[in-house]
Structure 1
Amino acid sequence: MRNRFDRQMESLNSQLTHMGELCEVAISRAAMALRNGDSNQAMNVVEADQEIDHMEKDIERLCLRLLLQQQPVARDLRQISAALKMITDMERIGDQASDIAEIIISAGMNETNEIPEIDKMASAVSKMVHDSVASYVQRDLELAREVIEQDDAVDELFETVKRKLMRLISAGDEDGSTAIDLIMVSKYLERIGDHATNIAEWVEFSITGVHKESHI
């Protein structure tokens, strides 16, 4: 019985890893679409979000089977409960990457060269997503805590983006509507960082049994 349970837990880890990879792909495609003003690439983000939604339902069903059929011990129960919380955050990450893509499509916009911090934010939050899921699979508490600490750097980048855009608007170097779109893009990236932090906090709970208050 335990062998079957262990195999199902391995399947859970594999599916969570794949869902995390899809989130990374969605973020990467959104950043690329923004850099290149590529509406086709932005449409690929929307498609990736749909696959993320399907994965959330598949993983949720697997978690419920594990809870109802296998009678997990306390540590296993924490892992499964954390997984259920994590997939909610990953689904929202997909939504927010899709929101970025929709801004790009509707506004026909691309990132201005004066705001490289937006691309830095995309890279940073993508790494946070990867590391948060990896910390769960590897049961790596130190890595989870590193993700939590990285959120401050993303918040600082977001504040830098806002300040730069306000200066550009004041100087007449940036169209007001484009600036608002870019602020929204950076805000969605900042929220993705918050969701990755939430995932890391649930990883910490799965290992220690203690959970910090969620950001979202």
Structure 2
Amino acid sequence: MVVRERFEEELSELQNKLIELGGLSAEALTKALVALEALDVDLALEIIEDDKKANMLEEEIDDFAIMLIAKQSPVAIDLRRIIVGIKIANDVERIADYAVNIAKSAIRIGNQPLVKPIEHIKEMHKLTLEMLSLSIEAYGEEDLTKAKRVAELDDQVDALYGQTIRDLLQLNQTKPDFIAQITQLSFVCRYLERAADHTTNIAEHVFYLVKGKRYDLNN
């Protein structure tokens, strides 16, 4: 009984590490939009530097999960919890990487005024952050309703992505002096769209954890 209790504590520790990683990624993503909108190079550089924390924590989670498998030889639901933890850590760390990419775009734009208000990008960003929060909650609570909601929000991000890219392509024709910036803003849209996809991956992992089978929530 004592062994089982210790194992439960270690599984809880794994979960807490993942929640911490989710917080780091959400913070990076939040700062990235601030850096972009304010064209704040110092903040962008801070985001790039802080990404080391997310990378190290993901490695720590992987090592901890492998240790659990080696030490406990888990089966069934316990093994799924550990495997899902590894997969979610990878997706969450990738979201932090996209925040870094947005920061780099802000640096490349430099001090050139934004060619237009970035309201659609801000809405994509808001939805992606909501999806990340929901997906981590869904994992912690093993809540399929929240996991399904993540996939529904992803459809909204995809729609905004398509609209924003079309708007930026039209600007290419009327604002030739801003082509380099428009390209970077297009990249930002893509980074947010991909970050949203990774939150959907997390939701799919939650379904696998609870149901024991894989679901494609993007269709």
Shorter-normalised TM-score: what interval?
Answer: over 0.9
Deviates further, 136-145 or 159-168: 159-168
**Corresponding position of 1:153:** 156
Q: Does residue 60 of structure 2 align to residue 46 of structure 1?
A: no
Whole-Å separation in 1 of the counterparts to 2:171 and 2:117: 9
- Cα deviation, residue 164, structure 1: 1.4
- Cα deviation, residue 212, structure 1: 2.6
**Corresponding position of 2:132:** 129
**Corresponding position of 1:195:** 198
Whole-Å separation in 2 of the counterparts to 1:212 and 1:167: 37
Q: Is the 8 A contact 1:151 1:193 kept in 2?
A: yes
Whole-Å separation in 2 of the counterparts to 1:152 and 1:158: 10
**Corresponding position of 2:94:** 92
Query: Aligned to 1:175, what secondary structure does the other structure show?
Result: helix
Displaced runs of 4 or more, over 6 A: none
Whole-Å separation in 2 of the counterparts to 1:181 and 1:59: 33
Whole-Å separation in 1 of the counterparts to 2:113 and 2:130: 23
**Corresponding position of 2:30:** 28
Q: Does residue 177 of structure 2 align to residue 177 of structure 1?
A: no
Whole-Å separation in 2 of the counterparts to 1:174 and 1:132: 40
Whole-Å separation in 1 of the counterparts to 2:33 and 2:109: 15
- Cα deviation, residue 213, structure 1: 4.8
Structure 2 residue ranges without an equivalent (≥5): none
What is the TM-score when the length of structure 2 is the normalising length? 0.92
RMSD across aligned C-alpha pairs, in angstroms?
1.7
Structure 1 residue ranges without an equivalent (≥5): none
- Cα deviation, residue 176, structure 1: 1.1
- Give per-residue Cα distances to partners, 1:21-79, cap 9 Å, x unaligned: 00000100100001101011111211232111000011111111111111223011111
Quote the sequence identity (%). 33
Q: Is the 8 A contact 2:135 2:147 kept in 1?
A: yes
